[in-house]
Chains A and B, each alone.
Chain A
Amino acid sequence: MPPAPNPEPASARLVGVYDLGPAPGAAPALSAGAKTLFGFSSADEPSVEELLARVHPEDRAGAEALLARAPSAAAGEPIECRVERADGTLVWVEARAEPVADPTGGAARRVGVVIDVTERKHAEATIRQQAGLLDAVQQSVIATDLEGRIVYWNRFAERLYGWSAAEVLGRPVKEVTPSEASVDQAEELIAALSRGQSWQGEFPVRRKDGASFVAFVTDSPVFESGRQVGIVSVAMDVTERVRTADALRDSEARFRATFENAAVGMAHVSPDGRYLRVNDAMCALTGLSAADLVGKGYGEITDPDDARAQRALARRLLEGEIETFTLEKRYLRKDGRPWWAKLTVSLVRRDDGSPDYFVTIVEDINDAKLAVQRLRENEAFMARFFDALSVFVGVMDTDGTLRRINRAPLSAGGLSEADVLGRALWDCPWWSWSPEVQADLRDAVARATRGEVVRFDVPLRLAGDARSWMDFQIAPLEDQHGAVTHLVPSGIDISSRHEAELALRESEQRFRAMADDLPLLVWVTDAQGRLEFVNRTFCDYFSVSPGEAANDLWRRLAHPADSDGYFAEFAASVEARRPFQAQMRVRRSGGEQRWIESWGRPRFDPAGRFLGVVGTSVDITDRKAMEAAQEAAARGEQSARRRAELLSMVMAELEALDGVQARARRLVHLLVPALADEAVVEAPGEDPPELAAAPSERRGEAHAVLSARLHVGGRVSGVLRVGLTDPARPPFDDDDRRLLDDIAERAGLLLGNARLFEQEHHTALALQRTLLPDHLVEHPMLSVGACYEAVAASLEVGGDWYDTIELPSGDIALTVGDVVGHGLVAAGAMGRLRNAIAAIAPRVDGPAEVLCELDEFIRANRVTEFATACCAILDPGSGLLRYASAGHPPMLLVAADGAVRWLEGGRSRALCGHSPSHRPEAVAEVAPGELIVLFSDGLIERRRRRLSAGLAQLAAAAARRRAEPVGQLCGNLVVDLLDDARLEDDVVVVCARLEPAATARFHRTIAARPEHLARLRRSLRAWLTARGLADQDVHHTLLAVGEAVTNAIEHAYRDRAPGQVEIDLTVAEAGELVLSVSDRGQWQAAETPDPRRGRGTPLMAAVSESFDRRSGRAGTTVVCRLARAGGRS
């Protein structure tokens, strides 16, 4: 007979016993409690099959095994199984079976205990849910009691602070996480908590490793039954955000400073990498003087690797692949230490597109670079530290003495290195409590010393006398000869779930209170994603009751614009069982709109089945606002950088150009499209009022316009106006306005300088021209032309003169001279000498006397220190030419057949006010058709060229062009001799041709002024009439000449001092007239064609048989052949 089951305690109806008897597989005898537990009535005697049928199919195998175990088998682990009773209720049952020896000596039998653990199971599930919840939180959660001792420390807190829960539980929170909250913050916190309110703030907190970070902390009181029992504190690391904000602030400030003072280094660098110009800031940055830097290659002060990179980019820039580049590079100080700089490089090209120089902007970013490096090192250290956390790794001598150990097992055991190093492994506090384990370890060490890898499970004593299990291994470490020198113990924590559950159970009540008091919105869904649970904070936040959680609460709260995206993401994460994170706007009860961010984690039961999502949400409205502010700050920084670059660029490019027009034009083209779609510089009251314009490519009115005053200097005030026509561009803001003001201020100075320079140049040039003759001698047998060419765009007007004078004798005097020096003084002296010659020549006999008297005039009036001159007096009738030269280059004669002669006689010293009273002169005979050329040395002198080469070139050019009308000839000689060289000195050329048959040709050179037109017509009418032309032919010729000369007056010398127009009319063999009108100006078409003008050319064409106009560097020439209606009468 089996012994009677023990009597059951009345209060424990859900505990039962059963007797399995000696034979395996026999139907157990069940106590009443056991029958109730399985849903049988006390009268039932269920068979094994009936009993197992009640067990949940998934748990049935375990139950079968328990029942089938041999009666003598040792007691095993209890099993837990779900039992479905006849009434449909489900209970969790723990069952164990133990062998009982038969006191009578018969076969052993087994007796089992079954316990209803449903309630515990539910509690555990809840705890798991709570625990999972708190661990799913991506913020640290720390609970303290009223004394400030830590009673809860979640997984994220372990990560954030570096302290494990085991290390900190029970310790004062102030000691574990020393904070640097200000006194004000501490007072605010205490005040808020005493009122039962939450408090939020940001302050630096120290980690276990001593590193500090900025925590954004929410502290809330925890209540239990209406009484405050502690504080729960939620924190996140916002160091990154704070650092970014600080960095932005710093860099913003730095850029503002840069902007105000243009303190960026700036350098112009030649295409081959040499510094051409550097500013003061560049010198300060490199520690070198401008003199040291200029001429140096950047490669000499750059880290070689970086210099290579820079050269590669520069090459691409030169080849036009890229328009600009930026590069972070290391410059080398004098002592070789590197410093970091950020370069922005662009290329300035000449008008023909060839590279001129690089504009390089250099910013010091050394501090920022070093900070980033330090941060990286620190991060690597932290990563190593965390990697080591979860395992046990050490090094031992072969006798088991521990030499090194990582931190994790020390932390877990609440130990320091001093507690374990130098001791035998088995004597360490982890194992000193158990002689059995110690024996196992001794044995394992001995085996490992023999070369074996030993692996086994050991229990471990942790801080607070807790236990954990470890999968442990001891491996030998051998040297190259195979001898074991050390042993390496290592292990991984495999602690049973059971202990964690126990610990959790103890704190279940606290978790419940905490979940409700967490200053987070906590929510839990089922496997379909339907809301099951929300915490009290959630209910308070949205003013809903916990009962509303079941329906589509989220949908009602979500902002319609965000809800689709948010719930799609949520559904996808439920589907994929993956973590969820999303943001959306929600409406609170008062209609207030807030931003929340939600994190969700899938939760699973122990069998791995998906249960739903546990999630938390945080109000991030303020953070959003902060992010928006940061974005705005970042945009501000970018635009500050852009502004600084644009400003530097404008300054550098404008400075490199000469002339108001050129600078104004470059200015507007630099602003489009960088700042605006169109730009214009206006100077009201000036002519023309619009100085330069870069019109929009887009039609239509600008939708935004900004203008700034250009203080050009003096009384002149201009306006720089920019506009936006592209509707996609945002309107101008205050930054744009400041930038335009800055540009206008600095560009105004540069334009003012250019304008001043141009005015002075124009003044000097105008003076020079008034001092030169405004007409040339007119003689029927002599064609005379002259030209004066000043050095362009320079103040260097010179002291060259020429003149042609008809003497009372009928002879013609030709003079050319050069007063030493440049500028207004030389020009003034030149004018006086020319007038002196005009007065002297009619009163003395011959060119040598003219020069003597001129020298005397210089002496008497102290006109100049030094001048050269030549004078020729020609009798047109006989062709006799008397000439003399005072230190002046020789005259040239070119015969009609092209033969050239240099007139090298009659030479004497230059004029300096105390020369001999007698000077020699020489005589030459000029043949009809022969050309006389007088010139100043500016025509033939070139740097790095022998004088004889210049003379030879002049002779060849004059011979080639000898048949051209003389005025044209003068200009063409200047162009020929100039080649492509810049004019270095001013030049005069006078050409006179003794005409073979003077009456066959009409030739005049007049100043291009309207009032000379009538006199020209009178003279021409007389010549034409004398040649017997019919009235209509006379009139057509007058019309053609009038239109051509009018054109020259109106267009060739527009905006310039009027020059000369040469009119040449010959009778060709067929009797037709060939007219040539040429000027030395630059043809400028009217900027806006005037429909009322432009009638001249068609009229000219209408009266000509052929008509041709050519413009070039030497001016414009019109040639037309005039038909003759009337013929010779």
Chain B
Amino acid sequence: MSDETRIDLMQGTLDLMVLKTLQAMGPLHGYGLARRIEQLSDDALRLNQGTIYASLLRLGERGLIASAWGTSDNNRRAKFYSLTRAGRRQLEAQTQSWKRSAGVIGRLLKLTPETD
């Protein structure tokens, strides 16, 4: 995949992706999350994997996710993150608002120039 077709992450969307991924896949560690997000976007997303931790910390502080140490598939100690109830509610609310704004932007982009 050439660099031109990869997209930069929109500000503030990473949190939503993390929440959604955790909801869909269940508890995951940081690397797992990063990997999943990349895979789900067919590697179209340019993700500096370190930034996922800023997002995890932000969400943790707000009580939207919980974390606990566990063991990964290949027997490595890793911290696992999971969605809390507040996280679920937040995801729902954000999904709605995301869909609405995406719809508006989509309609706007479909506008064709009027010809006289």
A and B assemble together? no
Residues of A with Cβ closer than 8 Å to B? none
